[in-house]
Protein backbone atom coordinates (compact mmCIF):
# COMPACT_ATOMS: atom_id res chain seq x y z
CA UNK A 1 0.00 0.00 0.00
CA UNK A 2 2.93 2.34 0.68
CA UNK A 3 3.95 2.07 -2.97
CA UNK A 4 0.68 3.73 -3.97
CA UNK A 5 1.07 6.73 -1.72
CA UNK A 6 3.62 8.61 -3.91
CA UNK A 7 1.50 7.93 -6.99
CA UNK A 8 -1.66 9.13 -5.28
CA UNK A 9 0.11 12.27 -4.07
CA UNK A 10 1.34 12.88 -7.62
CA UNK A 11 -2.22 12.55 -8.95
CA UNK A 12 -3.60 14.96 -6.35
CA UNK A 13 -0.85 17.50 -7.13
CA UNK A 14 -1.63 17.26 -10.85
CA UNK A 15 -5.34 17.66 -10.13
CA UNK A 16 -4.69 20.77 -8.04
CA UNK A 17 -2.41 22.24 -10.72
CA UNK A 18 -5.08 21.67 -13.39
CA UNK A 19 -7.73 23.26 -11.17
CA UNK A 20 -5.54 26.33 -10.73
CA UNK A 21 -4.94 26.55 -14.50
CA UNK A 22 -8.66 26.42 -15.18
CA UNK A 23 -9.40 28.97 -12.45
CA UNK A 24 -6.89 31.37 -14.01
CA UNK A 25 -8.59 31.29 -17.42
CA UNK A 26 -10.40 34.43 -18.56
CA UNK A 27 -14.19 34.28 -18.27
CA UNK A 28 -14.83 33.82 -22.05
CA UNK A 29 -12.54 30.78 -22.05
CA UNK A 30 -14.45 29.30 -19.12
CA UNK A 31 -17.72 29.77 -21.00
CA UNK A 32 -16.22 28.06 -24.06
CA UNK A 33 -15.19 25.14 -21.85
CA UNK A 34 -18.73 24.81 -20.46
CA UNK A 35 -20.20 24.88 -23.98
CA UNK A 36 -17.76 22.18 -25.08
CA UNK A 37 -18.82 20.00 -22.12
CA UNK A 38 -22.48 20.60 -23.04
CA UNK A 39 -21.78 19.47 -26.62
CA UNK A 40 -20.11 16.32 -25.31
CA UNK A 41 -22.92 15.51 -22.88
CA UNK A 42 -25.85 16.33 -25.18
CA UNK A 43 -25.94 13.07 -27.22
CA UNK A 44 -25.59 10.98 -24.06
CA UNK A 45 -28.43 12.78 -22.32
CA UNK A 46 -30.69 12.59 -25.37
CA UNK A 47 -29.98 8.86 -25.70
CA UNK A 48 -31.20 8.50 -22.12
CA UNK A 49 -34.41 10.33 -22.99
CA UNK A 50 -33.49 13.55 -21.19
CA UNK A 51 -33.72 17.03 -22.59
CA UNK A 52 -30.43 18.71 -23.36
CA UNK A 53 -29.62 22.12 -24.71
CA UNK A 54 -26.28 23.63 -25.66
CA UNK A 55 -25.94 27.33 -25.03
CA UNK A 56 -26.04 29.41 -28.19
CA UNK A 57 -23.43 32.07 -27.49
CA UNK A 58 -22.19 34.17 -30.39
CA UNK A 59 -18.47 33.84 -31.06
CA UNK A 60 -16.39 36.95 -30.46
CA UNK A 61 -13.84 38.29 -32.93
CA UNK A 62 -10.88 36.68 -31.10
Query: pLDDT, tens digit, for every residue of 2-41?
Result: 778 999 999 999 999 999 999 999 999 999 999 999 999 9
**Are residues 38 and 54 in contact, defined by beta-carbon separation less than 8 angstroms?**
yes
Split into its structural domains, the chain has a count of 1
Q: How far is CA 10 from CA 2, 5, 13, 17, 21, in A?
A: 14, 9, 5, 11, 17
How confident is the model at residue 2, as a pLDDT? 73
Domain region containing 42? 4-47
pLDDT at 59 over 60: yes
* Alpha-carbon torsion angle 13, 41, 34, 59, nearest 10: 140
Per-residue pLDDT for 62 more than 60? no
Residue 43 confidence (pLDDT): 96
Task: Answer yes or no: is 61 within a domain.
Answer: no
Identify the DSSP state of 54: -
Residue 41 covered by a domain? yes
Whole-model pTM: value is 0.70
Domain-embedded: residue 24: yes
Amino acid sequence: MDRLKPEIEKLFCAKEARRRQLAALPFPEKVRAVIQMQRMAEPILRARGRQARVWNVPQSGS
